[in-house]
Amino acid sequence: MGYDVGVAGRGLVGCVVATRLSEDPGRTVMLVDAGPDYPDERSLPPDVLDASQPTVDHDWGYWADADLDRGIRAAS
């Protein structure tokens, strides 16, 4: 099966982009992510379920250089 659009990463932005793109019934969208698959809500880790704090144990741990002297955690 082919897709019209592919979105890599189901983070906040990826989900919004995929949702907006899929509102067109004539467009097929594939959303891919490298994270673990939790089949239902009962299998989600407590910190993912809560979502009131960053879940640093559930990201790739990448860093980006915002300026020459300041690193920031990269969005995933």
pLDDT tens-digit readout, 5-32: 999 887 778 888 999 999 999 999 999 8
Do 63 and 74 touch, CB atoms closer than 8 A? yes
Q: Which residue has the higher pLDDT, 3 or 9?
A: 3
pLDDT tens-digit readout, 49-74: 877 776 667 767 776 666 666 656 65
Instruction: Compute how many other C-beta atoms are within 10 angstroms of the C-beta atom of residue 74.
Output: 13
CA-CA distance, 47 to 28, in Å (whole number)?
32
pTM for this model (two decimals): 0.51
